[in-house]
Amino acid sequence: LDAYTSYTMQGNGNAGSFIATEEQLKWMTPLRGGGQGNYNLNMQQKIERVVLALKTKPSSKRAVLTIPFTNKCSLCVDLRDDDEWKCLREIYFSIDSNGYLNATSVMRSQALIILPKNLHLIGTIMQTVAEQVGVPVGQLTHFCHFLVTDRK
């Protein structure tokens, strides 16, 4: 879990600018999401935008971290490019009336094996945002839908 999360949190906006360590690469496998599970591109900038939105207006509806289509706009993505169809889609942040940072995440998955990796990342992002905004971490509501072609 730490290997994926630490790699993702290093994302600074330049594709390929952060090279995974040997330890991280040991855990990054197609079984755990492959390119679809790589959310690192622009992650730091995305977190900064969420923090800015919440600091500017705590009730902001713009405190959203989007993940799909990291390299291209959604209209330009080749439908056959699996790496661009990310499993974790969006995380919505809000500060409740008691001053806690809450989040709602939306994920699409075909394998439960990647759920812990995504929940670990979301928790780390929540902690990072809460620290930068200066509020405690509240609750996460997580929606996960599965697409299957065979129910056998």
Model confidence pLDDT, tens digit, residues 81-91: 766 667 777 89
pLDDT of 54 reads 97
Residue 81 exposure: Cα atoms within 13 Å on the Cβ side = 13
**Which H/E stretch holds residue 137?**
strand 137-146
Averaged pLDDT score across all residues of the chain: 79
Taking the C-alpha atoms of residue 100 and residue 17, their distance in angstroms, rounded to an integer, is 34
Q: pLDDT digit string (tens) for 80-127? A: 776 666 777 789 999 999 999 999 998 876 667 777 888 888 999 999
User: Rounded to the nearest 5 degrees, what angle is found at the Cα of 103, between the Cα atoms of 60 and 88?
Assistant: 110
Q: 64-66 and 88-95 as β-strands: parallel, antiparallel, unpaired?
A: antiparallel
pTM (two decimals):
0.80
